[in-house]
Amino acid sequence: RSSDLGSQKEVDEALSQIGQKFKEINLTNVYAPPPVTLPSLPMATWLMIPDGVTVEVIVVNVVNAGHMFVQQHTHPTFYALRGLDHQMFLCYSQPGIPVLPTPVAVGIICAAPKDQRAWWRAQVVAFYKESNEVDVRYVDYGGYERVKVDVLRQIRSDFVTLPFQGSEVLLDNIMPVSDDHFCSEADAMVKEMTSGTALLAQVTNYDNATGLPLIHLWSMLGEEVVSVNQELLERGFAQCIDAY
């Protein structure tokens, strides 16, 4: 889906640049190089971003300028995702797969059709009885969507052994300048800075309200390493939470 940052040498150079600019951050690259063999995996778990180290990520869904989903594309488990996508497409393209029992239990994992070309693993996060709809969160590719219950299908147990690859994260220490949401220009800037490129991320804290990881995110622009968090502040699209 996206290119790697480049050679290990380039990644190491990027890490050393960040180290010079942001002294307090531990810059051990934990996934260099990834093991070739897949470890045996437990039943479905979320693939967490490890605390306090810098990892390569790709942004797969931008909810808004301060809220996104990332994949750790150098993690050993990531390589199994494409095969899983293919297997799910073959399975759910067949008729007769059981629908979800209603009322739908919030929190369950199911299979959801996406753009008529794919079936994605999804988690039900809300159920609306009157309209027979649910809100789902896509656990590998990120994002939220409201869909009719009858398009969803029960998921096979072997389809939930791979850890969920989409980590939902918030950018640390930034908040909208006014109101309770970022402006469309801020959202567009983050999409532009993160689209189609590998980035570097580090978990620096956890959000009290949601429990989501708070991260610092860096983009490689040519030879330059640019902090996405800092860029939002410098362009006036966000303010520091620390200032409060």
- Token reading at 45: 């778990």
pLDDT at site 221: 74
Look at residue 38 in the predicted model and tell me its pLDDT. 35
Give the pLDDT of residue 210: 87
Tell me which residue has tokens 């994949």: 71
Question: What pLDDT, on the 0 to 100 scale, is given for residue 55?
Answer: 93
pLDDT score, position 6: 58
The segment with the largest mean pLDDT, out of 5-9, 101-105, 156-160, is: 156-160
pLDDT band at 146 (very low <50, low <70, confident <90, very high): very high
In the chain, DSSP assigns E strands to 54-64, 67-71, 109-114, 118-128, 133-138, 144-148, 153-154, 167-171, 174-176, 199-206, 213-221, 224-227, 238-240
Of 18-27, 54-63, 232-241, which gets the smallest average pLDDT? 18-27
Checking if the pLDDT of 71 tops 50, the result is yes
Query: Above 90 in pLDDT, residue 12?
Result: no
Integer Cα distance of 131 and 228 in angstroms? 39
Residue 35 C-beta-side C-alpha neighbours within 13 Å = 6
pLDDT of 179 reads 74
Alpha carbon separation from 19 to 36, 38, 53, 58 (Å, rounded): 29, 31, 12, 21
- Range in 23-27, 98-102, 116-120, 138-142 with the lowest mean pLDDT: 23-27
Question: Residue 30 has what pLDDT?
Answer: 41
Mean pLDDT, residues 221-228: 85
Residue 131 to residue 134: CA distance in whole angstroms: 9
Instruction: Look at residue 217 in the predicted model and tell me its pLDDT.
Output: 96
From residue 127, give the alpha-carbon distance in Å to each of 16, 134, 150, 200, 210: 47, 4, 12, 36, 19
pTM for this entry: 0.81
Q: What is the pLDDT at residue 60?
A: 95
With pLDDT > 70 as the criterion, what percentage of the chain qualifies?
A: 81
C-alpha 234/C-alpha 3 separation (Å) is 28
CA dihedral 188→192→198→200, nearest 10 degrees, is -60
CB atoms within 10 A of CB 139: 23
For the chain, the average pLDDT equals 83
Measure the CA–CA gap between 172 and 119, rounded to whole angstroms.
Answer: 32
The string of pLDDT tens digits covering residues 31-67 is 333 333 333 334 458 888 888 899 999 999 999 999 9
Assign 16 a pLDDT band (cuts: 50, 70, 90). Answer: low
Return the pLDDT at 19: 58
pLDDT of residue 177: 87
